[in-house]
Structure 1
Amino acid sequence: MIRELKTLVAVAREGTFAAAGDKIGLTQAAVSAQMQRLQAELGFPLFDRAGRSARLNKMGHQILEQTQVLLLLYDNLGSATAGVPASVVNIGAIASVQRSVLPDALAALHRQCPGCRTRVLPGLSMELLDMVDAGEIDMAAIIRPPFSLQSDLLWTTLAREPFRLIVPRDTPGDDWVELLSQQPFVRYDRASFGGRQVDRFLRKMHLPLREICEVDELDAIVKLVANRVGVALVPQTAAQRRWPAAVRAIDLGQHTFHRDIGLVHRSLASLSGPAHMLLQLIAGQVQGLQPAR
């Protein structure tokens, strides 16, 4: 039954049996068979099928909510200390948060809650947002999406990170428009929320570009600029106290735009004590960092 319940969560998240199967390593036929067994055990249908989509019906949504609680309890089995079940906090985080504030916040949590367990899942902001929405993780530290969150999800802003134009240290000039127009451009991947912000900015400014590379990882972009591959528009993260010696940053002035980094989660009342504590510890770590100019 646990296997079928985990598959149900995947189907609810992905929207089709085929996509759920791709996500969890099963064929579409195997997913369909598991869902048929689950519905037979429960005695009622869970889906309204329309074409290839698998939409949960009213009972399906109720079962999904109960399933998420059951799977959390199941994950806690065997994690007892002195007869008290350990609390598990599942958090997703984009790479820049994992490298900066998250380790210190986790260390503080484990000092204050020695009996709890934590699990960190890496990923892109969109993937992690979907996991919070599906109830697979408690919270996620992500870039704020360019659309409204579902009504049952909450957003806690951690930092506003300004975008800068970074150029090789020995590149002459401080006119960012001229540099973007004349130098090779290393683009922040458009599949990410931050990359979409860069793309919207460039389209708004109508700047001619000579694109040479498109990369998702911010550290890789900075290193490419340091190696004189081109110039790039990147956010100055909360942990970015200084740029590498081979790079210099140029302020965009009145055209500066920002990416918001924050935690997406359900209501505070639905979070466990350790999860609520971790949220506060992460916020405290970010507040202690001031981005350099």
Structure 2
Amino acid sequence: MDIKQLQYFVAIVDQSTFTKAANTLHISQPSLSAAIKKLEMEAGFPLFDRASRNIGITKEGKILYQEAKKLLRHYETVSDEMLRLREEGPLELSIGLIESSMFFVPKILTVFKREFSNVRISLLETLSLSDVEKALNNFNIHLAITNQYIQNEDIETIPIYKENLVALLPLGHYLENKDYLQIKDLEGEVFIVSKEGFQTRKDILNAFKKSGINPNIQFEIERFETGCSLVENNLGITIVPENYVRYAKKHECSIKPIDNSNISRTVYIAYDKNRYLSPLVMRFILLIRSFFENEINREKL
């Protein structure tokens, strides 16, 4: 079984007929048929159901098709990497980011660019779980910085830091005089929360559930910046990561810690284990992990 055989097989499935696939591949139909028969002999089972007029794919063929697509994407990625290296063109690093990661990413990029000055870097927002998985599986990004723990055998998820979540109140709110809040203090308050599919929403609503409180959700958002703006305009209360408000631009609202061990989140590095990761990608991952190891050591001093 070789790459060319898999390319032929995938082309037939995608084109639905041997004739169209042969035209797309610029080979004769007999040559294509012979290659697929050889592939079936090596695999030990038929890939197509030839009993009907329209070619159908067998159950075994469907499994091979899915795995072959992954392998071909990986092969193309490695080929592209090698071509760039041969031509000495600009190297690339694509990173998927959550909004709050910008408090540390520029610091790491500064160090990284000293070592790899010619690397072209793409920073893409990948916020929800589906965004992250799709971007990694399609090889749109080399790695993601995410607060989603991804239950996927193809994706490696490494924790890098944990942080508390804090409440944001409009200035002059009656809860502003409290040093810290309890979840029960927010009962009945107009609440602003991330939309479905965001891990922060799950973390917050889980804490409410454990406290026996049903939040009065009036606004659903995608970005913390939007939530802060709504709070500043006295439209409700929201909960955000402490590092977001610590490092973001100053907001005209009151920041309150929450006395609840359930209100926290973990941030991860995630990457596709089936993808070739160049030395520069591995170096960036190492710089992230080293940054937070040093942060922990500084806090202990």
Match of 2:98 among 94, 97, 111: 94
Deviation at 1:111, TM superposition (A): 2.0
The worse-fitting range, judged by mean Cα deviation, of 67-76 and 113-122 is 67-76
Task: Tell me if structure 2 keeps the 8 A contact 1:159–1:238.
Answer: no
Q: In structure 2, what is the Cα distance between the partners aligned to 1:263 and 1:192?
A: 16
State the 4+ residue runs in structure 1 displaced beyond 3 angstroms: 31-50, 74-77, 83-87, 133-136, 175-179, 241-245, 266-270, 283-290
Aligned to 2:44: none
Larger gyration radius, structure 1 or structure 2: 2
Do structure 1's residue 143 and structure 2's residue 125 form an aligned pair? no
Q: After superposition, where does 1:172-251 map in structure 2 within 5 Å?
A: 172-173=174-175, 174=178, 175-237=181-243, 240-241=246-247, 244=250, 246-251=252-257
How far is the alpha carbon of 1:258 from its aligned partner?
1.4
How do 1:90-129 and structure 2 match up within 5 A?
90-97=94-101, 99-126=102-129, 127-129=131-133
TM-score by length of 1: 0.70
TM-score where L is the length of structure 2: 0.68
**Whole-angstrom CA distance in 2 between matches of 1:86 and 1:157:** 30
* Distance change in 2, residues 1:71/1:103 (3 Å): same
Structure 2 residues without counterparts, runs of 5 or longer:
1-6, 26-31, 37-46, 49-55, 297-301
Structure 1 residue 85: Cα displacement: 5.2
Q: How does 1:59-98 map to 2 (within 5 A)?
A: 60-74=66-80, 77=83, 79=84, 83-84=87-88, 86-97=90-101
In structure 2, give the amino acid aligned to 1:195: R
For residue 29 of structure 2, what is the aligned residue in structure 1?
Answer: none
Match of 2:171 in 1: 169
**Which runs of 5 or more structure 1 residues have no equivalent in the other structure?**
9-30
Query: One-letter code of the match for 1:157?
Result: P
Aligned to 2:156: 154
- What per-residue deviation string (whole Å, max 9, x for no partner) do you get for residues 175-217 of structure 1? 4345412421112223211112222222332324333211120
Q: How many residue pairs were aligned?
A: 254
Task: Answer yes or no: is the 8 Å Cα contact 2:169–2:255 preserved in 1.
Answer: yes
Structure 1 residue 134 displacement after superposition: 4.2
| Mapped contact 1:185–1:231 kept (Cα < 8 A) | yes
Residue 92 of structure 1 deviates from its aligned partner by 1.4
C-alpha separation in 2, matches of 1:76 and 1:38: 28
- For residues 154 and 125 of structure 1, the distance between their equivalents in structure 2, rounded to whole angstroms, comes to 17
Secondary structure, aligned partner of 1:157: strand
